[in-house]
Structures are given as structure tokens and as C-alpha cells.
């Protein structure tokens, strides 16, 4: 969906380094989500946000933190990346009127 | 968490109708049921949404029985390009939206 973008699209990093992924939306939606997707696990919710500075944990939040200082940006940070965090990360925005999520293109993260 | 249950995989042939069923055992009164489609290397994409009975759009139909404990996504006359993973979802937990494992549909020529 053109209204939501992710950066970077690909990243390779080393174990122990901090990593920040950015999700940017232009639709002014309150709700935003970070998921990770691994083979055999489908989509798993990491963290979500229901407004500026309002965030909460999802199913697999250990090792991740998020921040939402403005409506359009939702940042996901890996404080000290581990190889188990190698994954594809998707962010999504949610239209609460239609209760529909729109996903970004994904970020492929490799932790060596 | 509002986990749904659906078959892991299904095979079909071009031109056939495909029905994928999902169980929504702990759906709440005000939840909608939504289905998404995901192609490799892309994010999931909204297909269809409903609350009860039947909904149809240009892509699919969605059947929801009166008790709303299940839903069936119907894809008419599938083609090779319908090969994808299909997810069903209901927002039982309010703000949190959790996906199940999805159904991997393989359409063969």
C-alpha cells in the first residue's frame, strides 16, 4: 500500500549491534503494528501502538522496543541484535473505521 | 489471544472453486472477520471482510454462519496467480491483532 513504507528494506548486521527499523504512514491512522514473519510461524505480533506515545507488547516482544513520537512514525529497535532475530519484519496500520490493516512492504533483516 | 485455526495447506487446479474454512472459537460480539492474502516477499493484502451471512466482492465470497464460530473464504475459478497464503483474522483482543499460521494454497495447472 502506498500509504505505508518501511526503511530500510534490507539490512545485514552483526550480533550485539543495535538496529532500528522505521515504519512511516501518511494516512493519519492511530493504530500501528510490528510483526515478524519466519518460515513455519506465520505472522507474529511484536508490539503495537494505539496512539502517540501509547504502545503495548505483543506475542513476541522480548528483545524489542518501540517508540511512537508522532502519528506517522513507528520505530522498532533491537537493542542488541541476535541471530534469532533474523527475520522479515512487517509493519501495518489499521483503519479503525473499516477495521482493516494495511501492510508495508517488509524489511528483511539478517543478523550474523 | 484471538487465535484462529485453519488448514495448513490446500491444493487445487486452475478453474476450480476453492473453499478455505477458519475456526473463530473465541470471537467476540463486535468482532469482524477479515481475510488477507499474502504473496511471497510481500506484506499481506486485504481480501474481504464480513460480520455475518454472506459477503461478496470482485475477488471472493465470505460465508459466516449464524453462530459466527467459523468462516469460509470462497475463491471462484482459481488461477495460478491465486497461489498464496491466506490468513483469517478476528480482533477478539481489541487493540491487538494476532494472525494464525495461514493456509498455503497451491494452484496447479
pLDDT of residue B1: 54
The string of pLDDT tens digits covering residues B19-44 is 999 998 888 888 889 999 999 889 99
Per-residue pLDDT tens digits of chain A, which is 112 residues long: 569 999 999 999 999 999 999 999 999 999 999 999 998 778 899 999 999 999 999 989 999 999 999 999 999 999 999 999 999 999 999 988 888 889 999 999 999 9
Element (H, E) at B48: strand B45-50
The three grid cell numbers given for residue B103, joined into one nine-digit string: 493456509
* A41 Cβ under 8 Å from any chain B Cβ: yes
pLDDT of residue B2: 57
Go through chain A and tell me how many residues it has.
Answer: 112
* B45 Cβ under 8 Å from any chain A Cβ: yes
* B28 Cβ under 8 Å from any chain A Cβ: no
Q: Quote the CATH superfamily of domain B9-108.
A: Immunoglobulins (2.60.40.10)
Annotated domain spans of chain B: 9-108
Domains, chain A, with CATH or none: 4-102 (2.60.40.10)
Mean pLDDT for B59-80 is 95
The β-bridge partners of A19 are A78
What's the whole-number average pLDDT of chain B? 90
Residues of B in contact with A33 (CB under 8 A): 97
The answer to whether residues A39 and A58 touch, using CB atoms and an 8 Å cutoff, is no
Q: For the residues of A24-87, what is the DSSP string, one character each?
A: EESS--SEEEEEEEETTTEEEEEEEEEETTEEEE-TT-TTEEEEEEETTEEEEEESS--GGG-E
CB contact (8 A) between residue A98 and residue B49: yes
The answer to whether residues A72 and A82 touch, using CB atoms and an 8 Å cutoff, is no
pLDDT of residue A96: 82
Residues of A in contact with B7 (CB under 8 A): none
Amino acid at each position: 500500500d502506498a500509504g505505508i513504507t518501511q526503511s530500510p528494506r534490507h539490512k545485514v548486521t552483526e550480533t550485539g549491534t543495535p538496529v532500528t527499523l522505521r515504519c512511516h504512514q501518511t494516512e493519519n491512522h492511530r493504530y500501528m503494528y510490528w510483526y515478524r514473519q519466519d518460515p513455519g510461524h506465520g505472522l507474529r505480533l511484536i508490539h503495537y501502538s494505539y496512539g502517540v506515545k501509547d504502545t503495548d507488547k505483543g506475542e513476541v516482544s522480548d528483545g524489542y522496543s518501540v517508540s511512537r513520537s508522532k502519528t506517522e512514525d513507528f520505530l522498532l529497535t533491537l537493542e542488541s541484535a541476535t541471530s534469532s532475530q533474523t527475520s522479515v519484519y512487517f509493519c501495518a496500520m489499521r483503519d479503525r473505521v473499516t477495521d482493516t490493516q494495511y501492510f508495508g512492504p517488509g524489511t528483511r533483516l539478517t543478523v550474523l | 489471544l484471538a487465535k484462529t485455526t485453519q488448514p495448513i495447506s490446500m491444493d487445487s487446479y486452475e478453474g476450480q472453486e476453492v473453499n478455505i474454512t477458519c475456526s473463530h472459537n473465541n470471537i467476540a460480539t463486535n468482532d469482524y472477520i477479515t481475510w488477507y492474502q499474502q504473496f511471497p516477499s510481500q506484506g499481506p493484502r486485504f481480501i474481504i471482510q464480513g460480520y455475518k451471512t454472506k459477503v461478496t466482492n470482485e475477488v471472493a465470497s465470505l460465508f459466516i454462519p449464524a453462530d459466527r464460530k467459523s468462516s469460509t473464504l470462497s475463491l471462484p475459478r482459481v488461477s495460478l496467480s491465486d497461489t498464496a497464503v491466506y490468513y483469517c483474522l478476528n480482533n477478539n483482543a481489541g487493540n491487538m491483532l494476532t494472525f494464525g499460521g495461514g493456509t498455503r494454497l497451491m494452484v496447479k495447472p
